[in-house]
Amino acid sequence: KASEAFIRMLPKAELHLHLEGSLEPELMFRLAERNGIQLPYGSVDEVRKAYDFTNLQSFLDIYYQCADVLRTEQDFYDLTWAYLEHCQQDGVVHIEPFFDPQTHTDRGIDIGTVVSGITRALRDGNEQLDISSGLILCFLRHLSEDDAFATLDLAQPYLQHFVGVGLDSSEVGNPPEKFARVFSRCKELGLKRVAHAGEEGPVAYIEGALDILDVQRIDHGVRCTDSEAMMARLAHENIPLTVCPLSNTRLKVYQHMSEHPILTLLERGLCVTVNADDPAFFGGYLLTNYMALVDSLDMSREQAARLAANSLTASFASEEQKALWL
Ligand code: ES4
Ligand code: ZN
């Protein structure tokens, strides 16, 4: 079995992390006070008790509500910096975090405020903590494709700050096809593409993300286990899956971690990676996710090392940078 000290020292990338999902209740209260906002919760304990989810939507309802405390450039800086400190603790050397501009622009926050706060922290993280990064702009799939196009227009002045685009929020009923045109435009703009698919949604959504959105990675993708053909395709085409163990158990994709298929997929030759998704809501950062696999699935040192290497391989870092890590 792998130890925490062993996994901490493995160089790792985190490729599936929503910055808004790293908002800890303590910081949420601090920002609410700083911005003169009344929260619907009386204490940090009360907040944590509310984080008892039954599925993805029950989480998203609370997640979007919590994000309302984020108002100023400094708020987005503080949020991102707090996450970077956890990365340093966990031995993370590279991150490709998500942010959801629509969650903020729909509340009247300027996208420049959001991007500036996040990128200033990422720059400090690079200089002071030696953590490299590539930011990913996610479109909310419960909103329309026109809304996504409008968001891309708002983001136009900041495109050089993004390595790619993603697709998140309520999966079932919002298939990848809905965003075919905007993803095609993003490809023309030279952006990489990823999409949440096969978290709660069917294998057909993984297929749509690959064939219609032309994504380089699948976020979650665990429901590929429903299809032998899809597992074979993901292995053969070397499509990385950014798997989030604690997220999957907290959102009841699996009732217990012992049922999680990540190591089975690893042994079948898929490029699976470990990620925290929304650590402030799901009970832990990257190292905690790795340790959950040790505790419930008896993950070996060799498996942990392969998962860590996969995360670097699956990243959008340069081949030169990867050669230095691997
Ligand atoms: C998310 Cl776990 C998950 N799935 C889809 N969208 C999301 N946004 C934040 N966390
Ligand atoms: Zn996610």
Q: Are 52 and 250 in contact (CB under 8 A)?
A: no
Residues 310, 86: Cα–Cα separation, whole Å: 20
166 lines ligand 1 (CB under 6 A): no
Q: Is the dihedral of CA 314, 320, 322, 326 positive or negative?
A: positive
16 is in an annotated binding site: yes
Q: How far is the CA of 93 from the centre of ligand 1 (A)?
A: 23
In which domain, by residue range, is 319 found?
Answer: 4-325
Residue in the structure block whose two tokens are 């926050």: 109
Indicate which residue's Cα is closest to atom 7 of ligand 1. 169
Q: Are 48 and 18 in contact (CB under 8 A)?
A: no
Written as six digits, the tokens of 69 are 């405390």
Average pLDDT, rounded, for the chain: 98
Report pLDDT digits (tens) over 189-230: 999 999 999 999 999 999 999 999 999 999 999 999 999 999
Written as six digits, the tokens of 126 are 């690079």
Active site residues: 199
Report pLDDT digits (tens) over 158-177: 999 999 999 999 999 999 99
Q: How confident is the model at residue 30 (pLDDT cuts 50, 70, 90)?
A: very high
Residues 121, 94: Cα–Cα separation, whole Å: 14
75 lines ligand 1 (CB under 6 A): no
Residues 153, 90: Cα–Cα separation, whole Å: 36
Q: What residues have their beta carbon closer than 5 A to ion ligand 2?
A: 277
86 is in an annotated binding site: no
199 lines ligand 1 (CB under 6 A): yes
Q: Are 293 and 263 in contact (CB under 8 A)?
A: yes
Q: Is the dihedral of CA 115, 120, 126, 129 positive or negative?
A: negative
| DSSP secondary structure code for residue 36 in this structure | T
Indicate which residue's Cα is closest to atom 1 of ligand 1. 169
Q: What percent of the chain has pLDDT over 70?
A: 100
Smallest Cα–Cα separation from 196: which of 12, 16, 62? 16
Residues 320, 212: Cα–Cα separation, whole Å: 30
Report pLDDT digits (tens) over 43-52: 999 999 999 9
Indicate which ligand has the atom closest to the C-alpha of 21: 1
**Which atom of ligand 1 lies closest to the CA of 63?**
9
Q: Are 127 and 44 in contact (CB under 8 A)?
A: no
Ligand 1 pocket: which of 19, 58, 196, 241 to mutate (most atoms within 8 A of CB) = 196
Q: For the domain that residue 162 is a member of, what is the CATH number?
A: 3.20.20.140
278 is in an annotated binding site: yes
Q: Are 18 and 103 in contact (CB under 8 A)?
A: no
Q: How far is the CA of 320 from the centre of ligand 1 (A)?
A: 31
102 lines ligand 1 (CB under 6 A): no
CA atoms within 13 A on the CB side of 270: 29
169 lines ligand 1 (CB under 6 A): yes
Could you give the 3-state DSSP secondary structure of residue 243? strand
Question: ipTM exceeding 0.95?
Answer: yes
CB neighbours of 79 closer than 8 A, spacing ≥ 6?
A: 19, 20, 22, 23, 27, 70, 117, 118, 121
User: Structural domain tally of the chain?
Assistant: 1
Judged on CB neighbours under 10 Å (0-12, 13-18, 19+), 246 is: buried
Report pLDDT digits (tens) over 256-277: 999 999 999 999 999 999 999 9
For every residue of 71-134, DSSP letters joined together read -SHHHHHHHHHHHHHHHHHHTEEEE--EE-HHHHHTTT--HHHHHHHHHHHHHHHHHHH--EE-
277 lines ligand 1 (CB under 6 A): yes
214 is in an annotated binding site: no
